[in-house]
Structure 1
Amino acid sequence: MKTAQQWKACYLEPAFQAQYTYQGKDLGAACSGKGTSFLLWSPFADKITLNLYRDGGEGEPFLQQPMAREEKGVWAFRTEKNLHGIYYDYEIRIDGETKRTADPYAKACGINGRRSMAVDLSLTNPIGWEEDHAPEQPAERIIYEVHVKEFSWDPAGGFPSEYRGKYKAFLCEDTTLNAEGKHPTGIPYLKELGVTHIQLMPVFDYGSVDEAGDPADFNWGYDPVNYNVPEGSYATDAARGEVRIREMKEMIQSLHKNGFRVIMDVVYNHTYSLDSWLQRTVPWYYYRLHEDGSVSNGSACGNDIASERPMCASYLFNSVLYWAEEYHIDGFRFDLMGLLDTDLMNRIRTALDLRFGRGEKLVYGEPWAAGKTAMDPGFTQALKANFGKLPPDIGMFCDNTRDVIKGAALKPEEPGFINGRPGLEEEILDSVSAWCGGKAIPVKAPSQILNYVSAHDNQTLYDKLASTLEKGADIRKACRLAAGIYMTCQGSLFFLSGEEFARTKNGLDNTYDAPVSLNRLDWTKSLQERGLVEYYKGLIALRKQLPGLCDKSPNAVQRISGRWNKPGAVGFFVDNRAEGRSCRWETLCIVYNSKSTPERLTLPRGTWELLADGESSFLWKSPVRADANIAAAPGSILILGKTAADEKNCPADLFSGR
């Protein structure tokens, strides 16, 4: 039998690539009224048998059908019968060894993904699916990260018991807090909050939760099994392959109807197990190996997908297009995008633009890896340092902004600007202009930057501040300052569900398999922390009215002027005008004060209105004229807007005491 190194050497031969790179998009099971086809790419198989089953879990096959070898390493079986709802797997003999495998190209599956299912996708569409479409592009991208089970698990959320933790919870449009009937939860709450995009944590079929087990079993889902199949534990019936498809489509349809665009968290950098369907069909083709034959583990999850190899690249590329076309997904968040290659990312971006219109689908990801990876020679990782090789319409989570605001995510005890670490003022100001023009990150435009201070991994914002602020400090006040900073930086905005009501995970920073009782959204806190929620709502609503901050163009940095800083405080002006659009405030003045004392300033001539401060983010609704001499309160943000254009530029020595 060949060693892993021998397999790798074979795949890197130009002759192999020329002989076995299949260009078709029809791999997998295609099922319609015209018949059913099964196509599998396995170039070194000696024999493949297709097994057909009535059941997706147990039982023997009712038919075992030898498959025929065709060109480019593809094996096929075709029939005029519509086999919708029939389950299948393959027996493959390679290099003298026979293995049973599900279909890596499957679009439906049975319980726990062990058997694939032939599906006529037209029969899975909910009523009105053909008319489903995303809402219009919003004035700003405000992305809210949600886990399907976390969203509706809390009984206090008012969701029907049979929908708790399920896709169908997103169809409920009248949920309220059980303890307070007038307080919205779920979809009504998100509409009031004002977010524009819902980023769903993994909803493809993953391996760490038993779909036939305890409904309370929990995992984040970053362990792919079937890349093109929805996760079954979120469906009301995981045993029927078509149900999970229909219910996921219903969820997306509901989110669209309620004004949200939908982003899918995709994990194309590794699989749940090295013994995957990919590995069983083409040994060692889809995985990276070091020179000594050891498995590359830049994901820290046991393996790295070889995105640079032609058939692997096509597999991932077609998967993205499939979710966008079949499920109407509006954007993709790439987990550990730094493990993928820039060629693939550029190819995906170009294809989405050609198919749906430039920028219609969002593409962004984590521009890092968990460790070194053994990428084949001649390719470049999509790391932060290599972002110059990606177009402006591929974005990244900006850990620079995150860490300078609140402290390093990987160092729980390290503070940032808002919790007392000195010397970060210039970096805070670089965050304001999305790091454009600086040397820290090769950024082309604010469109490449996602500003955030919390996500599903690492500590929640509340927990980070609780562990770094002095005892007795006002944590919620610091939360308001953190939100005020990243929501007034150029770039797109992102935050973890529940950040706005002081979500806590008791200080734990990696709760991927912790009980759902810890991970679930505690809807009672959305009422208990109503003041903080209102502060977020006001910032979000204000942000949508500020074109100077919403500008994603390469020239947006030119809107920022009059930057200044002193220990613990910074300030700047923003040109808030927009061509062809009347703006209530032509110039903004923004101050971040992390000190324990006020920061006083003298405003230039003109009519200035107070839009937000550390206590209220809704001052702009009934603006009060600001005094020429004003102060940013301790540990607070101050946002002012000038209502009439000034003949002269704002003076560089505007602020007192300098």
Structure 2
Amino acid sequence: MALAQQSEGLKAGVAEPFPLSLERELGAVVHDHGTQFSIWAPSAKSVTLRFFTKGSSMEDGDVMVGTHQPELQSDGAWTIHFDENLHGTYYDYLVEQQDGNLVRTADPWAKGAGVNGRRSMVVDLARTDPAGWEHDEHPTTPLGETMVAEMHVASFSANPHGGFPLEHCGKYLAFTDLGTTVDGKGKFPTGIDYFKQLGVTAIQLLPFYDYGSVDENDPRQYNWGYDPLNYNVPEGSYSTDPFDGTVRITECKQMIQSLHAQGFKVIMDVVYNHMYTADNWFERVVPGYFVRRNADGTLSNGSGCGDDMASERAMMRCYIVDSVTYWAREYHIDGFRFDLMGLIDTDTMNAVRRSLDALPGGKDLIMYGEPWAAGPSSTLPGTELANKEGLHLLDPRIGHFCDRTRDAIKGHVFEHQIKGYVNGNAHDTRPQIELAVDAWRAPETNEGNAGQIIQYVSAHDDWTLWDKLCLSMIGDGSPESANKAESEYADDSHRTLESRDDALERAYRAEPGPQTHKVLEANTLAVGLIYTAAGIPFMLAGEEFGKTKFGNDNSFNSGVKVNELDWARAERMQGLVDYYRRLIAVRRANPSLFDAEHIAVEAPGNAVAYRSDDVAVLVNPDDEEYSLPVERIDSAFADSLHDDLPEAPESASHAEERWVCVLDSSGTSTGEFRQTGMRIAGGRFPMPARTLSIWKRER
């Protein structure tokens, strides 16, 4: 490992059972004088290095072309040096433990791999750089203008209406295709052009390290990728040739290079809390060290995947720090999203932050994660985990997803019938919304600074926003609600009634109808709250056109058809897409929305109103129309922030002339927005039923 300058900070607070290799670069390293192999296996009796002509035994011409015996060093690493550059050589290890147990393993520290990742590959990284890679730079978008869209590499371009070259569909290279349009007709943009026009500034990609749950040679297979196999190797199924270990590396870099050229930051979803199987490379190399165990010797399962990685162990901590730093340095990654961060200890997370900070421009790299776990995890004594209870121990530049905002807006994440502010439970959730838009910075709920809060209402897991709204608003399964849904979808010409399932199906498809319209209205309120709240706004790609999985709340292996971005639907839902685009534009034009105080003022009914600097937001989830006096917004702001209003009170007419409507959600279904400079009349802000409006105060 190459972290000598941080080795003291990487040591665990408990006694380590083996000598540590914190200062050696492990793996297969190509340098000016040859190739060095190093693997940390301090408990092994012997280690054998094997070379192959191919990356898997299934390939024609696969031959083992040599075996070699590394030597054990004082730090527990087994090493061997070759004078030649062995770039492209495939290899694995045979590790014999003291009890005579012999296992085959790939190299956990490898930077390259063959098809399906069962053999490692030596990589001369300089040979994998695409043309112009040395000039690739991180986008300089400030944190306050970061607009994150989450997507899956294959889902991005798999839809047949996307207009991508066939050979790029589902691949890294689809992110290099510019000028794509729906069905290639040149009318509605898709791909990178689409997200650039939308105003997104950061692309968060579901895991694209090498994962174990798909056969890389079978394009029909699909998985989200939360099954790590080789942490430091790109996934092969997204490359045009998974059998050549260099292709995936080069094409992954090309994807990142293209995104950077279009101004997007690239945020990598990383999963260091568990691996694909408990029988992973780490466990084969050093049994019992890298994976947490309960007191009875069984595997800890806080991840729900059967094998929690022991980040508090010095060598696992060092591995995580090195791995993240490697991706940032070699692949120019701009940020990292930590899956189930609540299973990683706070010392490790802070060590990652320090390591990134030490890189050129590293302090601008983004870090955030999920501050929860699937269950309890058995850690070593003294371990503090980066869950909600441990957030105060994290560097203030490590952020976290705010599930309280999510659930306040749309209701319980796992119970479809439990509603939130926008879909039928505004009375109970209104106080939470007023806290949420200020990033929960009230003393009794303080979650940190605004830059630490990821504000979102949907992500890849659980129901999409559209599906949650459909499920919660089109009946709850009771006879009464089913009858109501049926009657609202009655066919007046034939007087027939649809079942609730039929009504849901139509709503999922966003077919015209009163229920679909209500879902659309709720969607506009939900996202309007996210993009006007303090914090970093985040969305699931496709949310902006009512992405549906037809009620599937866990589509990790449901196939690309369920998960893909439906570009034809995006074109059909242009009104909603345009609303998102306008929202993002307002957000980017008013950076105070990121971290300035959001002051809530008294509003009628279940409505909420808040002001941040010169922006006022009015949200009315009720079926009744309201209005709000201008002076209520102005005086609340002046009292709280000592705004530079004139000492003498303004006349009502002068005060109202200062406020201009910049966005109103009421035109979403038609795309005809009332945002052409409408001003207040009669000294009161209008608050139409089931709408959100944003107003700008001129100075």
- Aligned match of 2:557: 513
- 1:260-289, Cα deviation, whole Å (9 max, x unpaired): 000000000000001110000000111111
Task: State the 1:152 CA deviation.
Answer: 0.4
Task: State the 1:352 CA deviation.
Answer: 1.2
Which of 143, 152, 157 does residue 147 from structure 1 map onto? 152
- 1:63-93, Cα deviation, whole Å (9 max, x unpaired): 0001111111100010111100000000110
Residue 299 (str. 1) matches residue 343 (str. 2): no
Residue 531 (str. 1) matches residue 582 (str. 2): no
Which of 679, 683, 690 does residue 625 from structure 1 map onto? 679
Task: State the 1:624 CA deviation.
Answer: 2.1
- Aligned match of 1:89: 92
The answer to whether the 8 A contact 1:266-1:332 is kept is yes
The answer for unaligned runs of 5 or more in structure 1 is 1-10, 576-586, 645-658
Hey, what's the Cα distance between the residues in 2 that align with 1:269 and 1:395? 17
Q: Tell me which amino acid in the other structure corresponds to 2:100.
A: G
Q: Tell me which amino acid in the other structure corresponds to 1:522.
A: D
Task: State the 1:619 CA deviation.
Answer: 6.4
State the TM-score, normalized to the length of structure 1: 0.91
Q: Tell me which amino acid in the other structure corresponds to 1:601.
A: L
Task: State the 1:621 CA deviation.
Answer: 6.7
- Aligned match of 2:45: 46
The answer to whether the 8 A contact 2:661-2:676 is kept is no
- 1:392-433, Cα deviation, whole Å (9 max, x unpaired): 211111100000000111112211000111311111010111
Q: Tell me which amino acid in the other structure corresponds to 1:113.
A: G
- 1:515-540, Cα deviation, whole Å (9 max, x unpaired): 21111111001100000000000000
- Say which is worse superposed, 604-613 or 394-403, in terms of deviation: 604-613
Alignment of 1:272-283 (within 5 A): 272-283=276-287
Residue 601 (str. 1) matches residue 656 (str. 2): no
Alignment of 1:329-344 (within 5 A): 329-344=333-348
- Aligned match of 1:4: none
Alignment of 1:20-419 (within 5 A): 20-58=19-57, 59-94=62-97, 95-138=99-142, 139-178=144-183, 180-213=185-218, 215-357=219-361, 359-419=363-423
Task: State the 1:212 CA deviation.
Answer: 1.7
The answer to whether the 8 A contact 1:487-1:540 is kept is yes
Task: State the 1:566 CA deviation.
Answer: 5.1
Q: Secondary structure at the match of 1:198?
A: strand
Task: State the 1:567 CA deviation.
Answer: 4.4
Residue 445 (str. 1) matches residue 449 (str. 2): yes
- Say which is worse superposed, 178-187 or 361-370, in terms of deviation: 178-187
Identity %: 44
- 1:290-345, Cα deviation, whole Å (9 max, x unpaired): 11111100000111000000000000110000000000000000000000001111
- Aligned match of 1:642: 697
- Aligned match of 1:578: none
Hey, what's the Cα distance between the residues in 1 that align with 2:139 and 2:676? 29
Distance 1:322-1:560 versus aligned 2 partners, 3 A rule: same
Residue 466 (str. 1) matches residue 465 (str. 2): no
The answer to whether the 8 A contact 1:425-1:565 is kept is no
Q: Tell me which amino acid in the other structure corresponds to 1:574.
A: S
Residue 504 (str. 1) matches residue 584 (str. 2): no
- 1:585-638, Cα deviation, whole Å (9 max, x unpaired): xx2221111111112111124211111122258969741222222321111112
Hey, what's the Cα distance between the residues in 1 that align with 2:362 and 2:332? 16
Q: Secondary structure at the match of 1:232?
A: coil
Alignment of 1:3-18 (within 5 A): 16=16
Distance 1:60-1:528 versus aligned 2 partners, 3 A rule: same
Hey, what's the Cα distance between the residues in 2 that align with 1:13 and 1:638? 53
- Aligned match of 1:432: 437
Q: Secondary structure at the match of 1:20?
A: coil
Which of 528, 537, 545 does residue 484 from structure 1 map onto? 528
Pairs aligned (count): 614
- Aligned match of 1:581: none
- 1:558-588, Cα deviation, whole Å (9 max, x unpaired): x33353355421112222xxxxxxxxxxx22
- 1:161-193, Cα deviation, whole Å (9 max, x unpaired): 111000011110111111642211001111110
Hey, what's the Cα distance between the residues in 1 that align with 2:313 and 2:603? 49
- Aligned match of 2:609: 571
Distance 1:179-1:232 versus aligned 2 partners, 3 A rule: closer
Distance 1:399-1:388 versus aligned 2 partners, 3 A rule: same
The answer for unaligned runs of 5 or more in structure 2 is 1-10, 475-484, 486-513, 632-651
The answer to whether the 8 A contact 1:425-1:567 is kept is no
Q: Secondary structure at the match of 2:203?
A: strand
The answer to whether the 8 A contact 1:25-1:318 is kept is no
State the TM-score, normalized to the length of structure 2: 0.86
Alignment of 1:575-586 (within 5 A): 575=613
Q: Tell me which amino acid in the other structure corresponds to 1:365.
A: G
CA-atom RMSD, angstroms? 1.7
Q: Tell me which amino acid in the other structure corresponds to 2:33.
A: K
Task: State the 1:454 CA deviation.
Answer: 0.7
Q: Secondary structure at the match of 1:626?
A: coil
Hey, what's the Cα distance between the residues in 1 that align with 2:303 and 2:363? 29
